[in-house]
């Protein structure tokens, strides 16, 4: 599987994603500049975290209009795997590939710490087989997921909530919600289950050497040999 790691001015987790995939998981990852108009030959897309275009206007708003995003939309529509992490999640909501929006944290602080998330959907391309509770870092100022009640109910009914914030024992409580996200949501899926947007950073926990390996199983989905 050939994986495109999209680079946009202001991406800053692109190298984490690239090295996690390539060096730790053995995936066939390549950088793709946001000006590219074709993802021909690629099988999956990673939209990494960062502050694309300095978060001007809104986080991910300008990157969502990048030429390569038209291709990412095609990918999403065709059922190919797409993951947006942190700012990448914001790009997915800004481009309309995923519903809802990510707004400023309730407590007005930039949050940079390890949190626990619980798998909700257990059958999608991305979530099947991942640990039920994972310790994964967050690093965001605008990570509070919100959507109207109709959308939230639809996400629940269609089993499209990928991850929710929880405590270390897997209890989903208001106290375990770091940013005030609706229904503790940390990540959601599209209707096909092939597009995942999440605020926590699985690419930062792929080795015990760097503090954890709970993100390995999730990203290892992309390490399918190309041959």
Partner 1 sequence: MPESDVGRYRVFVTLKPGLLDSAGRAVGESLKTLGFGDVQQVRIGKLIELELADGSKAEVEEMCKKLLANPVIEEYTVEEQQ
Which of 2, 9, 10, 65: binder of partner 1 (CB under 8 A)? 65
Query: How many residues in the shown chain lie near partner 1 by CB under 8 A?
Result: 19
Site membership for partner 1, residue 111 (CB under 8 A): no
Count the alpha carbons within 13 Å of 36 in the hemisphere toward its beta carbon: 17
- Minimum Å gap between C-beta 101 and partner 1 is 4
Residue 112 pairs in a beta bridge with: 139
Question: Is residue 91 a contact point for partner 1 (CB under 8 A)?
Answer: no
Closer to partner 1 at the Cβ: 93 or 127? 93
Name the token pair of 175: 């106290």
**Residue 7 in contact with partner 1, rule: CB under 8 A:** no
* Interface segment toward partner 1; rule CB under 8 A; list 4-12, 20-28, 58-66, 213-221: 58-66
Neighbours of 52 (CB within 10 A): 29
Residues 127-156 contacting partner 1, CB under 8 A? 146-147
CB atoms within 10 A of CB 188: 26
Say how many C-beta atoms besides its own lie within 10 A of residue 25's C-beta. Answer: 21
Q: How far is CA 208 from CA 66, 156, 198, 215, in A?
A: 36, 33, 22, 11
Using rule CB under 8 A, residue 108 touches partner 1: yes
Residue numbers at the binding site for partner 1 (CB under 8 A): 57-58, 61-62, 65, 93-94, 99-101, 103-108, 146-147, 180
């Amino acid at each position: 599987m050939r994986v495109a790691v999209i680079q946009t001015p202001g991406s800053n987790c692109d190298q984490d994603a690239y090295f996690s995939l390539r060096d730790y998981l053995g995936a066939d990852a390549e950088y793709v500049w946001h000006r590219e108009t074709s993802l021909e030959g690629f099988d999956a897309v990673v939209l990494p975290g960062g502050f694309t275009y300095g978060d001007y206007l809104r986080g991910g708003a300008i990157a969502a209009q990048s030429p390569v995003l038209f291709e990412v939309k095609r990918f999403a529509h065709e059922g190919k795997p797409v993951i947006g992490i942190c700012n990448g999640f914001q790009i997915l909501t800004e481009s309309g590939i995923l519903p809802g929006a990510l707004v400023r944290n309730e407590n007005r602080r930039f949050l940079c710490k390890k949190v626990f998330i619980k798998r909700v959907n257990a059958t999608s391309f991305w979530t099947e087989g991942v640990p039920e509770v994972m310790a994964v870092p967050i690093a965001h100022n605008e990570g509070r997921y919100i959507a109207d009640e109709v959308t939230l109910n639809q996400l629940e009914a269609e089993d499209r909530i990928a991850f929710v914030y929880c405590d270390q024992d897997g209890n989903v409580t208001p106290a375990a919600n770091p940013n005030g996200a609706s229904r503790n949501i940390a990540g959601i899926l599209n209707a096909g289950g092939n597009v995942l947007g999440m605020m926590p950073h699985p690419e930062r926990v792929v080795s015990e050497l760097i503090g954890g390996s709970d993100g390995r199983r999730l990203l290892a989905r992309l390490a399918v040999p190309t041959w």
